[in-house]
Amino acid sequence: MKKIQQTFTQTTLGSIIWIAILTTIFDFPEMTILKVVALGLIAGLVFGIAYPMLWQHASFKTRTKLTTSVLLNTVAGSLAVYIVSPLMFHWLQPALIGIFVLTVCLHLVGLSLYMRFEKRLIK
């Protein structure tokens, strides 16, 4: 549990710093501190808590883990886009099914590469 808490903290703070730097570089005045923190928290929850719990500690089948991570990733990404710009979210809304399919494909590729890497380590 301590490791998950540490991962959450590192991911959240790293994301907040990274988003703040990008916001400063690209001069994005609509991005408030509250939005930056919210985006950092979303990243921390998904990549610092949900993914490690799902892939390292949960005893679900791989298909269930993959489905859960795809849904979580799609919802978190959509929420992040909505926080940054509701107008951009409404513009992307018709493409959400395509984004979901792309997310499934990329997760399948990532899982395949990870499994191949794991087999090399075991040998």
Total count of domains within the chain: 1
pLDDT given at position 123 = 60
For residue 94, what pLDDT is reported? 94
Residue range of the domain that includes 10:
2-122
DSSP letters along the chain, please?
Answer: -HHHHHHHHHHHHHHHHHHHHHHHHTT-TT--HHHHHHHHHHHIIIIIIIHHIIIII----HHHHHHHHHHHHHHHHHHHHHHH-HHHHHHHGGGHHHHHHHHHHHHHHHHHHHHHHHHHHH-
Encode pLDDT of 53-67 as tens digits. 998 888 889 889 999
Q: Which amino acid is at 120?
A: R
* 1, 67, 76 from 11: Cα distances, Å: 15, 22, 15
* Sites in the chain below the pLDDT cut of 50: none
